[in-house]
Amino acid sequence: MKIALFLPNWIGDAVMATPAMRAIREHYLDAEIFGVMRPYVGQVLEGLDLVDRTFLYSPRSRSPEMRAWNLSMDLRHEGIDIAVLFPNSLRTATMAWLSGAKERIGFNRDLRRWLLTDALTPRSRKQPNPVIDEYLRLAERLGCTRLTHDTELAVTEADQDALEFFWRKNGSRLRNKGTICINSGGAFGAAKDWPATYFADLARRLANETGKTILVLCGPAEVDNAREIVRQADDDRVITLAGEKLSLGLTKAAVSESELLITTDSGPRHFAQPFGVPVVTLYGPTHTAWSDTYYSKGINLQKAVDCGPCQKRACPLGHHRCMTGLQVDTVYNAALCLWRQQRTDDLRRAA
């Protein structure tokens, strides 16, 4: 049997799909499982054993083999028995249909019912519900019974080497102190951003209180913001990855060895759970339920405002109070509490 998993296009959603992927992997032990994904999703999931082969897809790629039509024809040549569609897009359903998969399972959204052989009724978008549970419904539809909320990631040797290179340049002394990671960016839009001056104040205070090195993470689009946080913090213990060859693998490696992650509601926030790292997530315009993964070491912070959560990429009212109103003291106290609780738990386990 051959199963094609059409995976989510967002980084965080891809991580939230891993419990369903694991359930399918364990239920169909003899199946050959293909992962159809964007290149950056491939970076996120690299090192896991959830798929046997990877088909990279990018609609704007200059490489013909990565475009929708050619990739669908490649899958058709493989003889796919089952296609599982995690994204809700019409494009994904069209690709699955073109692939010739005998069974095509997904949610009945975006006028694509006729392209599916098994269309699940989605839960109402008016009532926020965890994406991770929707993905598990796909696995359940396939007969999978070992369903959990345990997300998975791996750090490859190349990822670890990149992190080792970073620490060699910046000094093992800082690494030996232990690290707390800060992630300030995200692809959703400016509405999720917490001010750089707030992050700088938070970083400085945490460095003073915990004695830890504060490592500011970033992607290519957040380099300037990360450097601004370090500049405003004005503390040798606050450093950033901004000067490195950035990759999602490097970010995974940094989070995996940290003691705490403080992050906006963005993809890398989901890197904490697979490695058992406590995480404080700062929410603004989005409802916390959508990305809930039931993680016991996570704290979600959100400022209650009468206009939110609006789900907008930019504040339609221009004041951005949902994020600017989330005070540094609130985040600092929550982060310190979670960090101390983790230290206490670690000491108990070691006793």
Alpha-carbon distances, residue 280 vs 21, 90, 199, 254, 285 (angstroms)? 26, 35, 13, 16, 16
**Which whole number is the average pLDDT over 96-112?**
95
Nearest-CA neighbor of 229 among 215, 244, 210? 215
306 band by pLDDT with thresholds 50, 70 and 90: confident
> 3-state DSSP call for residue 191?
helix
User: Does the structure show a pLDDT above 90 at 315?
Assistant: no
Whether the CB-CB separation of 115 and 96 falls below 8 Å is answered with yes
Nearest residue to 255 (alpha-carbon basis) of 182, 197, 189, 309: 182
For residues 122 and 134, the answer to whether their CB atoms sit within 8 Å is yes
pLDDT digits (tens, 9 = 90+) for 132-157: 999 999 999 999 999 999 999 999 99
Among candidates 47, 39, 33, which has minimal Cα distance to 4? 33
- Could you tell me where the DSSP H helices lie in 145-237? 157-170, 172-176, 196-210, 223-233
pLDDT, mean of residues 274-291: 92
> Is residue 170 pLDDT above 60, yes or no?
yes
| Gap between the Cα atoms of 134 and 119, Å rounded | 13
3-class secondary-structure state, position 50: coil
Cα angle, residue 208 at apex, residues 206 and 214 outer, rounded to 5°: 50
**pLDDT confidence of residue 351:** 76
The helix (run of H) or strand (run of E) holding residue 340 is helix 328-350
Average pLDDT over residues 25-30: 98
Q: Which of the residue ranges 213-217, 305-309, 325-329 would you say has the lowest mean pLDDT?
A: 305-309
Mean pLDDT estimate for the chain = 93
Confidence of residue 284 (pLDDT cuts 50, 70, 90): confident
3-state helix, strand, coil in the chain (%, to 5): 45, 15, 40
Q: What does the pLDDT average to over 269-283?
A: 97
Q: Which residue reads 């005998």 in tokens?
A: 102
pLDDT in tens, 223-251: 999 999 999 999 999 999 999 999 999 99
Q: pLDDT confidence of 187, banded at 50, 70, 90?
A: low
Average pLDDT, integer, range 88-103: 96
Q: β-strand 213-217 against 279-283: which pairing, if any?
A: unpaired
- Tell whether the model's pLDDT for residue 307 goes beyond 70: yes
Q: Which residue has the tokens 């929708």?
A: 68
**pLDDT value of residue 191:** 64
Q: Are 31 and 1 in contact (CB under 8 A)?
A: yes
Domains of the chain (ranges; CATH) run 2-141 (3.40.50.2000), 157-350 (3.40.50.2000)
pLDDT digits (tens, 9 = 90+) for 331-348: 999 999 999 999 888 888
CA-CA-CA-CA torsion sign (328, 331, 335, 336): positive
pLDDT at 273 over 60: yes
Distance of alpha carbon 179 from alpha carbon 279, whole angstroms: 13
The pLDDT value recorded for residue 167 is: 95
pLDDT at 164: 96
High-pLDDT (> 70) share of the chain, %: 97
pLDDT at 308: 66
Give the DSSP per-residue string, 112-128: -GGG-SEEEPPPPTTS-
Q: Please, how many CA atoms are within 13 Å of residue 158, restricted to the half-sphere of its CB?
A: 8
- The pLDDT of 66-83, averaged and rounded, is 94
At 144, give phi and psi (nearest 5°): -70, 140
Q: 124-140 in b/e burial notation, b at 16+ Cβ within 10 A?
A: eeeebebbbbbbbbbbe
- Whether residue 188 is predicted with pLDDT greater than 60 in this model: the reply is no
- Radius of gyration of the chain from its Cα atoms, rounded to whole angstroms: 21
Token duo for residue 230: 């370090």
209 has pLDDT over 70:
yes
Q: What pLDDT does residue 173 have?
A: 82
Identify the pLDDT of residue 310: 66
